[in-house]
Amino acid sequence: MNNTLLIRMSAIAAVSLVALVSTAAAGHLPRPLGAGEQPLSAGVHVLDLASLKQARPGYKHLPRIAVTLPSGWFNNNGWAVNNGGALGLGFWDPDKVYPTGCHWQGKPKIDPGRTVAGLARVLATRPLRHASRPRNAELAGFRGKYLKWSVPSEINISRCSQGYFESWTGRGWATDRWQQGAGQVDRLWILDLNGKRLVIDANYLPSATRKQRADLDRVVHSIRFVSASPRKPASTSSGRKVGDGNGNWIAYSTGPGRYPSKNTGGSDVFVKRVIGRPVLVAGRDGEIRNMCPVFSPNGRMLAFAREARAGSAIVVVRVGPHGPMSAGRRILKVPGGRIRCPRWSSDSSRVAYLDRGRIVVRGLDGSRPHRSAGDPTIQAFHRSTRVLVSPDGHLIASLTDKGIVVSLPDGSDHVIIKDDPPSYAIAGWSPDGRWLLVMRDVGGGFEMRAALVPAPRQPSSSRIVVAYARVNNARSWPGYGDVSWQPRPRR
C-alpha cells in the first residue's frame, strides 16, 4: 500500500473512507492501455475505451474497465487483450451485423438497433453459428444478455468472402469483428452500462486447454467498471452526493418464518434507530407482503413495495424527526402481478420499479411521466448478497473466507472487517460510506449489525442495530429486499 493512501486512510475517524479512496483511486490504478501490441505483466490493467483516438463523440461517460490478467498476455490497441494464442478478450459496440458469417459479400447488413435485447436476438438467429438462446445475465454489476456462438469446426475460412468469417461492424474504437479460425467459440455478454450498450467477447480456439478456458473465465469475472475518471462526477444511482451524512433511521422488512421464500404469509416493514425499539411502518395483515423499503435521497420519505391479492402498489410514507408519519401516506397502484423493489429519482420527486425487466417511472401524484435525467437506470436495481458497491462507486465490500473485505474495485488497497461469527450477507452501506450493515444468522432469524470500516492497521468495531428478527434470508426477506439507511434529511 502506498504511503500517501495510508496516511489519508488513517484519518477515517474524521473523514469518510469513501471520499479518501475516491480521490486516490484514479492515481492508484495503472495508466490505461494505448496503441500497440505490447506484452503485459501479470496483474490489473485498465482499458479506457472513451479515450481511444477512433472513438466517436458520445462515449465520454463510458466507465474505464479494470481487468486482472495472468502472465503471458498482450495488449491489442487498448480495447482488447489476448494470450498470444488461443484466448482473447475484446470490448465492442456493434453497429451492423453480417447476415451470415461466411458468404456475406454483396448482402445487406442487419441493423439490430441500439438495445441489448435487439442485438442478442439478431446474433442468436445467424446461420452457421449454433448460438445458444440468449438469457438474462449480470457481469461486474451490470445486467444484460448472455449467449455463446461458434464457427463451424469443419469450415474452410479461406473460401469465405475475401477469406474472412465475419460477425459485425463496430462503432467507436474498433471497426470490424471477424473470427480467427474454424471451431472458434465466443462467449458474449451484452451489457447495458447506464444506457450505453457494450459487448464483452471472451473467445477461444479449439486448441485451448481446459485450464486455459478456466483462466479465461477468471479473467472475465475479474472485470470491474471503474468510475474514478474525472470525466464522471461521483454520485449514486439514487442521487446522493459523496459525503452526505447519515440520518437517524434504518429501514428493513421481515417475515413470519425461517424460510419464507415459498410466498407463505405476509411481511412487515420496520424502521429503527441504531439505539431504540423498532417502529412498525406497515403490517402484514394476513397475506400482505410489505417489502424493499428505501429512503428518498433527501431523507424525508420512505417508499416500499406492497403485494396483496387485491393488487400491488408502491407506498410512500413521510418521515419526520420522530420517524414515519401517518399523515400524507401515498399509495401508487401498480397494474399486473408481482413488482420489484422501488427506486427513487435523484430529486426525490418520482419512484420507479421493474415490470418484466422494463423500468416504469411514477410521479408521487400517481402520474406516469416520461423517463428523464436523474431517474433510476437498470443498474440501480442490481442486487447482490455478497458484493456491494459504496455510495460513490469507488469501493466495494465483499464477503470472503477471511471476513468482509473493503477494497478498490480492482481488489487492491483492501482492509478486512473481522466478522466472527461470520455474516451471511452485506445488507447495505451507510450514506456517508463509513459503515456497513451486515446480516448474521442467530438461529431461525437474523441479527443486523453496523460495522465501521476501519483504517488500515486499525481494529474494526461494530454495534447491533437489530438484535433478532424472525426470518433467515439475505438482506432481509421477502424478495431479498434491501435494507436502507436514511440520508441526513434535507430539502
Residue 235 lies in a domain: no
Asked whether residue 263 falls in the same domain as residue 172, the answer is no
- For cell 444478455, what's the residue? 145
Burial of 291 (0-12, 13-18, 19+ CB in 10 A): buried
Mean pLDDT of the region 166-181: 91
Q: Sorting pLDDT into bands at 50, 70 and 90, what band is 266?
A: confident
Asked whether residue 253 falls in the same domain as residue 287, the answer is yes
pLDDT of residue 26: 39
Which range (31-45, 119-133, 305-319, 332-346) has the least confidence? 332-346
Among 226, 254, 284, the domain-final residue is 226
Asked whether residue 272 falls in the same domain as residue 206, the answer is no
pLDDT of residue 13: 30
pLDDT at 232 over 60: no
Question: Average pLDDT of the chain?
Answer: 80
Sequential DSSP letters for 327-396: TT-EEEEE-SS-----EE-TTSSEEEEEETTEEEEEETTS--PPP-TTS--GGGG---SSEEE-TTSS-E
Q: Sorting pLDDT into bands at 50, 70 and 90, what band is 57?
A: low
**Residue 288 maps to which CATH number?**
2.120.10
Determine contact, residues 361/371, Cβ cutoff 8 Å: yes
Asked whether residue 252 falls in the same domain as residue 168, the answer is no
pLDDT of residue 301: 93
Mean pLDDT of the region 305-319: 86
Residue 222 lies in a domain: yes
Asked whether residue 219 falls in the same domain as residue 306, the answer is no
The backbone torsions φ and ψ at residue 66, rounded to the nearest 5 degrees and listed phi first, read: -105, 130
pLDDT at 125 over 90: yes
Q: Sorting pLDDT into bands at 50, 70 and 90, what band is 19?
A: very low
Residue 152 lies in a domain: yes
Which range (33-42, 52-61, 90-99, 186-195) has the least confidence? 52-61
**Residue 169 maps to which CATH number?**
3.40.1000
pLDDT at 260 over 60: no
Mean pLDDT of the region 16-28: 35
Q: Cα–Cα distance between 318 and 177 in angstroms, integer?
A: 53
Report pLDDT digits (tens) over 416-437. Answer: 887 777 888 888 888 888 888 8
Say what percent of the chain tops pLDDT 90: 34
pLDDT at 157 over 50: yes
pLDDT at 21 over 70: no
pLDDT of residue 479: 55
pLDDT of residue 81: 95
pLDDT of residue 20: 27
pLDDT of residue 324: 84
Asked whether residue 385 falls in the same domain as residue 327, the answer is yes
Asked whether residue 288 falls in the same domain as residue 217, the answer is no
Q: Give how far Cα 56 sits from Cα of 35, 190, 441, Å.
A: 17, 20, 51
pLDDT of residue 456: 59
pLDDT of residue 23: 29
Mean pLDDT of the region 135-152: 93
Residue 6 lies in a domain: no
Among 226, 258, 275, the domain-final residue is 226
Asked whether residue 140 falls in the same domain as residue 195, the answer is yes
Which one is predicted more confidently, 76 or 392?
A: 76
Mean pLDDT of the region 137-141: 89
Residue 7 lies in a domain: no
pLDDT of residue 8: 31
Which range (101-105, 259-263, 360-364) has the least confidence? 259-263
Task: Say what the pTM is.
Answer: 0.53
Asked whether residue 260 falls in the same domain as residue 397, the answer is yes
Residue 14 lies in a domain: no
Among 197, 226, 255, the domain-final residue is 226
Determine contact, residues 261/452, Cβ cutoff 8 Å: no
Asked whether residue 193 falls in the same domain as residue 56, the answer is yes
Which range (86-90, 301-305, 308-312, 462-466) has the least confidence? 462-466
pLDDT of residue 115: 94
Q: How many domains does the chain have?
A: 2
Domain range for residue 141? 31-226
Q: Sorting pLDDT into bands at 50, 70 and 90, what band is 87?
A: very high
pLDDT of residue 253: 85
The residue length of the chain stands at 491
The backbone torsions φ and ψ at residue 378, rounded to the nearest 5 degrees and listed phi first, read: -60, -30
> What residue type is 124 in one-letter code?
A
pLDDT of residue 287: 74
Asked whether residue 308 falls in the same domain as residue 337, the answer is yes
Residue 394 lies in a domain: yes
pLDDT at 203 over 90: yes
pLDDT of residue 236: 34
Mean pLDDT of the region 359-377: 85
The SS3 of residue 46 is: strand
Residue 12 lies in a domain: no
Asked whether residue 314 falls in the same domain as residue 209, the answer is no
pLDDT of residue 241: 43
132, three cell numbers = 445458444
472, three cell numbers = 433467515
pLDDT at 243 over 60: no
Which range (3-7, 47-51, 122-126, 396-400) has the least confidence? 3-7
